[in-house]
Amino acid sequence: MITRFRRIVLASVCLFSPAHTLADPAVSWGADFTSNYVFDGLTQSDSGFAFQPWAEVENRGFYAGVWASTVDLGPDSWEIDLLLGYRKTHANGLFWDVGYARYYYDDTGDCCGEIKFTLAYPVLERLTLEGYVAVNPENENVNRSATAYIDITDQANLSGRIGKSDGSATEYWDVGGSWRFNETVSADVRYYGADAGDEGVVVTMSLGF
């Protein structure tokens, strides 16, 4: 279940995407092609390839989006996530995002929802720290994580994350690097693990428009 929306809000928007004007709605869309869809250190695609299209409309910080992924979870072949929220980046670099996400599957249907909050701040010129909390109000499960991003160049960064998920009953982590080829194409290579899952490497190619 994407952490979630593949953290498009921070990893893609804050670090890699061009700025949009405040006056007009900004429509963005794209897709990820990943060797393994991993959520909280646990594979959602039976350690196989996954296709992950997404689209978003944003205006003055308010956004609505949809994210989907192929999965291999019993009778389900697709996961579809719907999001609403508000995000803002301040002049000092402080970034925050608050929103609600609802998760669906093509066969089993409505799964659950989360209230999510992301806060990030560039503590040094090339070091950004992020905190993330998501709460399922129906069962009070909490997912929380801390991530550090280190900008190597304007095109490349390294990042590492540690977290704990009540819903998945596990602690998880990952470390890796991202490279932006241009405004449209980027790549990510990441080593991940979790108490309840296997360790492994995930390679992802991303397109964003």
pLDDT at residue number 24: 82
Q: Is 113 helix (H, G, I), strand (E, B) or coil?
A: strand
Phi, psi of 37 (to 5 degrees): -85, 110
Delineate the domains of the chain, giving CATH numbers in brackets: 5-208 (2.40.160.40)
pLDDT at residue number 120: 98
pLDDT at residue number 10: 53
pLDDT tens for the chain, 209 residues long, are: 655 454 555 554 444 444 455 568 999 999 999 999 999 999 999 999 999 999 999 999 999 999 999 999 999 999 999 999 999 999 999 999 999 999 999 999 999 999 999 999 999 999 999 999 999 999 989 999 999 999 999 999 999 999 999 988 899 999 999 999 999 999 999 999 999 878 999 999 999 99
**CB neighbour list of residue 90: distance below 8 Å, 6 or more residues apart:** none
pLDDT at residue number 5: 52
Model-level pTM?
A: 0.89
Residues written for the chain: 209
pLDDT at residue number 72: 98
pLDDT at residue number 23: 63
CA distances for 24 relative to 28, 58, 62, 157, 206, angstroms: 13, 9, 12, 30, 25
Question: CA-to-CA distance for 9 and 17, rounded, in angstroms?
Answer: 10
Residue (of 7, 143, 164, 155) closest to 81 by Cα position: 7
